[in-house]
Chain A
């Protein structure tokens, strides 16, 4: 049990620090992957999570009842975003080519894009945990007023209409690079 907004904030800051260490160009590769994954979630998430749930049922992994269904669906989104994040941080192939800017500009750019990645990853997890009404029992409700305000600015709550454009922008930037 704990304040979810603090966990979220700590995660975002941690990603920001990772961004400083890894550098601006590598972070942009992660941003590209995350935006594409979010676009996929936004457009086909419901359908795919439905298939996953049905598949689990057919495999006799019982998820009868609403709470269990919400656990299965929330798990699908969380596991997918965690795997996508791990692959994009682990691999080099999606990183933008070249040498990142030197000095304070490079540090700041790495920090900002790292924070953006943290916002995308931690924000997406929180978004789906909230959507399925905190199914894992780790968060005590009611949420604080700050948390209730932050929910309104989570990635899929505000970026949804812009995701195709943002993903295309990043892919074009990557190709031109």
Chain B
């Protein structure tokens, strides 16, 4: 059994976010943050709704796969499909679905950001890199750190529901630590947004 300090887990998530941000522009990190916030909000307040819609969609897809309206007896096919057990039934299913949907939303927002805000890569020896000013890179690192923190804040209570797991992490202590520092993270985000906005603003004349 490996014993891990809760603060090290948070630090690990933040460092991963910083490393990811190192190769990004701030607006892409902002898109990731939007994905994290939407995913978190959806899974916190709309989980039952999303799960019920996913189950309904599953029934529709199964109905379509078995011939749908072109089947010999659509009514019988539909009745048969409706008797199937739902796709997401147990708590374990819900956990997997939550994680998958959260990951999907985060990646979707990231790729949409990359599509919408493109920058031209340049050659750096044999590899292609993005030429980004150090200020923007620093800002992206900061936003990456916040993203790492927010993702850890959402995922840790889901992934470590027991007080202790095989890797010995006191998840209750970890969750408390994450909650306590959330205010600081939000303040940091607002300050970074202000810096980003001031950088993006034009200078006054004279």
Question: Which residues of A are interface residues toward B (Cβ below 8 A)?
Answer: 24-25, 28, 96-101, 105, 109, 112-113, 116, 153, 158-159, 162, 166, 169-170, 173, 177
A158-B183, A162-B187, A166-B187 are contacts. A173–B204 as well, Cβ < 8 Å?
no
B183, A98: Cβ atoms closer than 8 Å: no
Number of contact residues on B: which range applies?
A: 10 to 19
Question: Which residues of B are interface residues toward A (Cβ below 8 A)?
Answer: 27, 183, 187, 190-191, 193-198, 200-204
A113, B183: Cβ atoms closer than 8 Å: no
A101, B200: Cβ atoms closer than 8 Å: yes
Please count the residue pairs between chain A and chain B whose beta carbons lie under 8 angstroms apart in the complex.
Answer: 49
Per a CB cutoff under 8 Å, which of A98, A99, A101, A113 touches B194? Answer: A113
Closest B residue by C-beta to A99: B202
CA distance A101 to B193 in the complex (A): 12
> Interface on chain B toward A: helix, strand, loop, or mixed SS?
helix
B193, A109: Cβ atoms closer than 8 Å: yes
26 contacts between A and B (CB under 8 A): A24-B201, A25-B197, A25-B201, A28-B194, A28-B198, A96-B198, A96-B201, A97-B203, A98-B201, A98-B202, A98-B203, A99-B201, A100-B201, A101-B197, A101-B201, A105-B197, A109-B197, A112-B190, A113-B193, A113-B194, A159-B183, A159-B187, A166-B187, A170-B194, A173-B194, A173-B195
